[in-house]
Structure 1
Amino acid sequence: MSLNENTAPARDDGLAGKVAVITGGASGIGRALAVAYARAGTDSVVGHYPGDPHSADETVRLVEAAGGRCTAVAVDVRDSAQVDALAQAAVAAYGRLDIAVAGAGVLRRAALAELDDDSWNDMLSVDLTGVLRTFRSAAAVMAGPGAMVAISSIAGGVFGWDDHAHYAAAKSGVLGLCRSLATELAPRGIRVNAIVPGLIETPQSLDETNSLGPAGLERAGRGIPAGRVGHADEVARAIRFLTGDDAAYITGQQLVVDGGLTVRWPE
């Protein structure tokens, strides 16, 4: 499914005029989400890792082609000051911040014997503590009700994945973080949820060294009830739903987007 396909909301979901911060916005789900928000009338500030081989400028181009506004900001989510500056950039550019989506993440393969403390700590600093930093900085500048979504994984809440213990631990921690913040921030009208993608075709999953790669994804897709792996656009639309008015009474929850993978009986 192309990012250029018209996937505008069927009706008003309250997102027009809102402003969103998206970390991990240079590619994959983050890029697809920025485009989905543009079609809903939401301005976005996309945070991208300074060394990301994917171009945040391309995200901006796609957003503008969809009729939206987007600002790209280089940010390392391991650095609290940089994450704080990202949230402040949204207010400076568009006057407010309503939505924060924590999508920045790394995926590296490491067997237990090779998993040293530095590798463990670096993974958690990006994939778990990076979510905390993103939400903390967003909450500090949100003037009214808002919505936050963190991208977890079925590896964090459902399946074990050999050689990825650090990744699974981080993604599992994201679920607990979202539940706790949902209760803490509810009095301010800020909803916090997690999206739990299954096998989605993104630059990360296409990496044969650290993930399944193209052939592995194709094989795995045949075992999914939907008959295929998912697309970044499909996860983006689920996030858009969670941050819109249709999800006004949903907080502290986990929305699994996996084509039925987690409910299939083993064959």
Structure 2
Amino acid sequence: MPEFEGKIVVITGAAQGIGLVTALSFLKNGAAVAAIDVDREAIEDAMEDFFKGYEGKIQFFECNLADMEDIESTCQEIAQNYKWIDILVNNAAVSSTKPISQRTVEEWNYVINVNLRAPYLMVKYLLPFMKEGSSIVNIASTRALMSEPNTEPYSASKGGILALTHSLAVSLSPKKIRVNAISPGWIETSPYKKRKYRHKPNLREIDHLQHPAGRVGRPEDIANAILFLTSQKSSFITGTNLIVDGGMTIKMIYEE
């Protein structure tokens, strides 16, 4: 029997990239997937190009994760359709890259609301329908630990995800719900974007060699980690952050 047979999995940002590949991985392992995304075009492309044959096992819910009321109503709709939830993967995220002087407060709030507030609200509204022994995975980022210029809201939101994760792990422990985070590094998602942005990876040798593992990451690397953290193989793991970056964040860099 497939490992996740009979399990109900909710995934945000499931129409492209890491979320799409994670949804496929759960489907291939027997789960049913409630997939959330805001991009109607990406949803339609994903259903036609990646989820053929799984139409009876995956259902998309269009939701704006920056809108609190939309999140609540979507969670209610999911609960009505599925009755219970076994696994929640808070994957969806947005970014804003511009100098501090040019970024508006509204742009800051948008990133924080989608990346940090929405995962909390997803837990809040789905918690009554989560069984004892359920599992939550929050997708953080190595940008919670290191930064590039002009990425303050993204880095702050991902740092917040790490704190939210260990806080939820303690709060939900009486219900035996495990909560963990994954911090992806450089993950090449171009083959899993919606059609008009989809293309083969265009990576240089130097891109691969800056990783001690010898290559840039793939969405499957994160999906595999998610499946591990939501399986019984990880039943003694909660409140942790699993860095999946090919060793990139441990490599010391010197100017030459």
TM-score of the two chains, using structure 1 as the length reference: 0.84
Equivalent residue number for residue 92 of structure 1: 80
Q: Secondary structure in 1 aligned to 2:5?
A: coil
How far apart are the structure 2 equivalents of 1:186 and 1:57? 39
The answer to whether the 8 Å contact 1:41/1:68 transfers is no
How far apart are the structure 2 equivalents of 1:256 and 1:35? 22
User: Displacement, 1:82?
Assistant: 2.1
The answer to whether the 8 Å contact 2:212/2:251 transfers is yes
> 1:87-145 deviations in whole A, cap 9, x for unaligned?
33333333321111111111221112212211111110111111111111221321432
Equivalent residue number for residue 15 of structure 2: 26
How far apart are the structure 2 equivalents of 1:68 and 1:31? 16
How far apart are the structure 1 equivalents of 2:190 and 2:74? 24
1:16-165 → structure 2 map (5 Å cutoff)? 16-49=5-38, 51=39, 53-56=41-44, 58-59=46-47, 62-65=50-53, 69-156=57-144, 158-165=145-152
Identity over aligned pairs, percent: 31
Quickly say closer, same or farther: Cα 1:60–1:120, change in 2 above 3 A.
same
Quickly say closer, same or farther: Cα 1:215–1:255, change in 2 above 3 A.
same
Gap regions ≥5 residues in structure 2:
194-200
Gap regions ≥5 residues in structure 1:
1-10, 207-213
Equivalent residue number for residue 169 of structure 1: 156
Query: In the comparison of the two structures, how many residue pairs are matched?
Result: 247
Confirm or deny that 1:254 pairs with 2:247: no
